[in-house]
A = this chain, B = another copy of it.
Amino acid sequence: MKADNRLSSVLHVLLHMIELDEPLTSDELSQMLTSHPVVVRRTLAGLRDAGLVRSEKGHGGGWVIDCDPAKVSLYDIHQALGSPALISIGHRNHNPACLVEATVNAALNQAIEDAEALLIARFKAISLADLGAGFHAGLSERVGHLTLEDMLKRHPAPSPKGTSDV
């Protein structure tokens, strides 16, 4: 099963948007994520609808942060993405009349729901500002903001295929 990296991707670009407070285009963001501009717009559309970012058209346009990073949690962002599934296992519910199946489902459900609750509790406890603080703590030798060139240097385009980075 393939992991869903959207939350990770979105957090990544949000932090860059906070660092660099000029609009970032879908094209630039897609280079950071080794993805496609339309995919970026599709993904960020939910955040725009939730009022977390703003998108501006035309010359000098792009994506801008539009919230207080201290007041937005990872949970808010997860919700803005449409609350995708957090747990990858489920239960078959083909025959509710089968007591064996019902018993299995009850046991699995309890574990699954609690793991989900743990993740959600953690997500609620971490704000964008927290992540930004962690970032700056790790950046102690560097002073000031990163330039866009700095950033793109750290997000090179994939040379021939795959094994690139972001």
A residues engaging B (CB < 8 A)? Answer: 1-5, 7-9, 11-12, 15-16, 19, 33-34, 74, 84-92, 94-108, 110-112, 114-119, 121-123, 125-126, 130-131, 134-135, 138-140, 143-144, 148, 151-152, 154-155, 157, 159, 164-166
Residues of B close to A94: CB separation below 8 A: 33-34, 164-166
A145 to B16 Cα, complex, angstroms: 44
Which of B11, B103, B118, B123 is close to A104, meaning CB atoms less than 8 Å apart? B11
Residues of B close to A164: CB separation below 8 A: 94-95
Residues of B close to A148: CB separation below 8 A: 114, 117-118
Asked if B134 contacts A88 (CB within 8 A), the reply is no
A2 to B84 Cα, complex, angstroms: 11
Asked if A122 contacts B111 (CB within 8 A), the reply is yes
Which of B87, B125, B134 is close to A103, meaning CB atoms less than 8 Å apart? B134
Residues of B close to A134: CB separation below 8 A: 103, 106-107
A123 to B164 Cα, complex, angstroms: 16
In order of increasing CB-CB distance, the 10 nearest A-B pairs are A3-B90, A95-B165, A88-B88, A94-B166, A94-B165, A111-B122, A8-B91, A125-B157, A103-B135, A107-B143
Residues of B close to A144: CB separation below 8 A: 107, 110
A134 to B159 Cα, complex, angstroms: 11
